[in-house]
Amino acid sequence: MHAIAPYSIRFFDPNNTAKNIEDRYAVLDKLGASDAYTVLCDFVRGLDDQFAIDEVGQQVYRFFEMKTYDATREVAGWFESGSYGYKNDIIDIETGKVDYEKTQKHAEIIKHYIRFFVPKGFNEGVALLQTFKGNGIKTLLHDVLKAHFQKKTTLNLQMNPLAYKKAFLDWENAYTKEIKLTKFQAMDDLADQIKRLGHKESQLIIKAPTKAAMGRLKDLLDPNSEEYSVVEYLSPMCAQVKAVVELNGKKRTFTIGRPADEQVCEIPIDEEDVDFFAGNPVPKSLHKWCGVIQQELVDNIYPGMGVVVGGNI
């Protein structure tokens, strides 16, 4: 339901005529006379708590409780957004009755965690954006920031999904310890028993034998493997298949059923890693976990260079 989507942060100079396309991307702390980190900090520090309106997209948004960390050149906080322009009813699921009538002037606000790392001496940074039920705020956030940076630097901000092969290459060879089938429906009696234990969703967890594993992550993503055929068989019985893999004592949860190069575009926020309250990640716990995720991304983007982010700042 909740996930983190990692993106690269780059600035393209449309006036640079260098033959090598990489040379047209500016070093982050040398955007002409500006530093991308300073521009970003000045922008979020200068905001108030009022919502801004995007009339074209019929959206409202605001940056909220943004914090800057000069020592590690990170910016983190919340980007709240919602859509308006349509009428619908909000019901109480326990009674089935309409609890609230949403008009065209109302917007349901969703809170998204965002985190930026803007290192010195490199032409690529990292952004972590929270998604909810597959819906995110990348397009709106990018448009807002791009407009601001163009005014300050004339350069074009680019935010592209970090490819799985680039960001989490090591995890391909991680061994699967668990397969989670969410909203499992193959055996009604078992699903009913699970519900009685108080779970929000019916879930069947298949665990590997003690001191063993169920193949590597890349096997679960390879259409020609035996492991993939098993997942393919199980998929119609549930709403979602997740694999919990382990590497060097660390565990990570991946959603199965999509190409490997898309995996890192949605890193599920698992309740075993992050504390939840009322269906949402607890801010402090989420921030700490995202520090771990960001360090793993940085280690792969700048291998062997000893780049360190804030972790649980």
Measured N-to-C along each axis, helices 138-153 and 36-45 cross at an angle, to the nearest 10 degrees, of 110
208 close to 178: Cβ distance less than 8 angstroms: yes
151 close to 110: Cβ distance less than 8 angstroms: no
| Measured distance between the N- and C-terminal CA atoms of the chain, rounded to whole angstroms | 25
Q: Residue 262 — φ and ψ, nearest 5°? A: -105, -10
* Look-up of token digits 């020609």: 224
Quote the CA–CA distance of 25 and 155 in Å, as a whole number: 9
Residue positions counted in the chain:
313
7 close to 146: Cβ distance less than 8 angstroms: no
**Predicted structure pTM score:** 0.76
pLDDT of residue 198: 41
pLDDT digits (tens, 9 = 90+) for 173-216: 888 888 888 776 655 554 454 444 444 456 778 888 777 778 88
Positions in the chain whose pLDDT score sits under 70: 85, 93, 104, 107, 134, 163-169, 184-202, 257-266, 311-313
DSSP 163: P
